[in-house]
Amino acid sequence: MDNSAFEMHEGTRQHVSFVGKMNTISRMEEKRQRSLMSVFLVCLLACTITTAVGVLILSLVYINNTQLHPEPELQATTIPILQKAVDPKFRFLNHLPKSKGTAWIGVVDDGHVVTTYNVTAGQVIFFPKNTLHWIKNVGNEDCFFLLFFSTHDELQTLDVDDVFFSTPEDIASRSLKPEGGINFIRTFHEQKEDQGVNLPHNLAELVTNASYTQSPDNLVWRYFYDLKGSKEYRFPGGIIQLAQYWKNGSELSKNEKIFSTFLNQHQNALALSTLRIYNNGLRQPHFHFNANEMGYVISGCAKVGIINTQGTTEFDIHVGDVIFFPIGNQHYIKSACDEDLLFILAFSTGDQLQTLDMDDYLQATADHILAQLFFKKQSEFKKIPKFKEDQAINLP
């Protein structure tokens, strides 16, 4: 082989060798890139899983914390959560303080007769419609009244000072005929703040020799009733006391009869009562023929149920809550706390309250009618007992 041939052959061999090296390097680079990609994907997957688990753990911790530790602001200010959606007309719930204190009451009737008397916690006052009256705290602590009004419209009230300052000066002067005439009337100045409930800072300078007199019983007991000291109607599961009109007032005292008669003489009057239900006691399903009912919780807590054509609505009530039952609505109240449940109840009637309980109307219905209604044998209804004691409030 000559030198030229040798050189050509050697060049070719070097070229082939160079190409082989390039192919080898290329394959190594691809492997290295694939390895890096695999590591990247594994890391990405690991991060994703870790993040997901972390979020899940944080979510569970947040949920558990919110369940175990509700926000204090919500605990203090919100109404108890209802178990079901409640019709707005049954959700009249307001928080109010407990009643206490002593007050002097004054009433001016249409015959210009002024009746004044003192009241303390647990007693009832009655003001007929369009009767001028006042309430003055004469005790050593704040005086709280729970007030019920016989209207479903917005309450309309007119205070004495509002009337005075709305009356033209010459009209007021000619009506009152004071010393100094119209100039005296002009010495009165209306306060910037509403004086519906007032306490002047200089009261001691304004009032001297205050006298809180008590009118005769025949006047006082038209507007006053000692509910706390009245007869107790006891049941197996609680106690009811009533300040109402009684068709048969033979069991009433002389003064209680005055209140009963006077109440019945006025349209749109109210009956009032206290209802005490013992721990775990039940005021069984019942309805009132002739009155709407509104109640305020003094102590304890309860589960309330309202039965109507849409089914049963249940919700919880606590101290300070107000409940409302429209006329004819079946409802029940079950005590749910360790302490007794105590209500103040108002009924929109000046007549004797008419109520029908579930056990009474089932017992009054013939068993053959019940058998056809409930698809049960007539003999089965003999299993529902009759009790000697009224079971309006019961405690098995």
Tens-place pLDDT, residues 30-62: 555 556 556 555 555 555 444 444 433 333 333
Give, for 55, the enclosing helix (H) or strand (E): helix 3-68
**Residue 223: both structure tokens together:** 């507007």
Between CA 215 and CA 114 the distance in angstroms is 8
The tokens of 79 are what? 């109404």
Task: Give the mean model confidence (pLDDT) for residues 115-142.
Answer: 93
Decide if 127 contacts 223 (C-beta within 8 A). Answer: yes
Full set of structural domains in the chain with CATH? 88-218 (no CATH), 226-394 (2.60.120.10)
The Cα–Cα gap between 180 and 232 comes to: 58
* Total residue length of the chain: 396
pLDDT mean over 200-205: 92
Q: What is residue 98's predicted lDDT score, i.e. its pLDDT?
A: 52
Q: Please give the backbone phi and psi of residue 51, each rounded to the nearest 5 degrees, phi first.
A: -65, -45
pLDDT at 270: 96
The C-alpha R_g of the chain, in whole angstroms, comes to 41
Q: Do 274 and 388 touch, CB atoms closer than 8 A? A: no
pLDDT band at 332 (very low <50, low <70, confident <90, very high): very high
Whether the per-residue pLDDT at 2 is higher than 60: the answer is: no
The confidence band for 116, taking pLDDT boundaries of 50, 70 and 90, is very high
Amino acid at position 108, single letter: V
Residue with tokens 């290329």: 26
Q: What is the pLDDT of residue 42?
A: 52
Question: Of the candidates 311, 114, 333, which has an alpha carbon nearest to the alpha carbon of residue 223?
Answer: 114
Instruction: Tell me the mean pLDDT in the region 187-204.
Output: 94
Give the position of tokens 């749910």. 336
Angle at 343 between CA 326 and CA 300, to 5 degrees: 120
The pLDDT-based confidence of 396 (bands split at 50, 70, 90) is confident
- Could you identify the residue written with the tokens 């089914």? 311
Q: How confident is the model at residue 370 (pLDDT cuts 50, 70, 90)?
A: very high
**Are the beta carbons of 120 and 226 closer than 8 angstroms?**
no
376-395 burial by CB neighbour count: b if 16+ within 10 A, else e? eeeeebeeeeeeeeebbbbe
Q: What is the rounded CA–CA span in Å between residue 242 and residue 322?
A: 19
Asked if pLDDT for residue 95 goes beyond 80, the answer is no
Structure confidence at residue 8 (pLDDT): 42
Q: Bridge partners of 333?
A: 283, 304
Nearest Cα neighbor of 273 from 306, 233, 307 is: 233
